[in-house]
A = this chain, B = another copy of it.
Amino acid sequence: MEGADLIAMVSIITAGLTIAIGSIGPALGEARAAAQALEALARQPDEANTITRTLFVSLAMIESTAIYCFVVSMILIFANPFWSPAQGVTGG
């Protein structure tokens, strides 16, 4: 049953690294957008509505790349299309 074990191991490693590496960019990016929004708020309190709306659209857009990574990570753990055949053939 070596084949299935190897696929399991590889899926575990990849799932972890994908979300780990994939969370660096969005975390820093959202922080940058948020920091600038706070700075803009302090300078133009009257534009709070426009600024907050633009910030949330941007955060959602940036978060989307983190969610791509999370989706791939979850697929690899719970819905891995390579897992059944490997297990079925060699375990059957």
Contact = CB atoms under 8 A, between A and B. Distances in A.
Interface of A: 1-48, 50-52, 54-59, 61-66, 68-70, 72-73, 75-78, 80-83, 85-87, 89-91
A28 B65 CA distance: 10
A82 B8 contact: yes
A72 B19 contact: yes
A57 B52 CA distance: 10
A3 B85 CA distance: 13
A41 B41 contact: no
Given A12-B7, A33-B35, A19 B22 contact: yes
A48 B45 contact: no
Nearest to A29: B31
Nearest to A10: B9
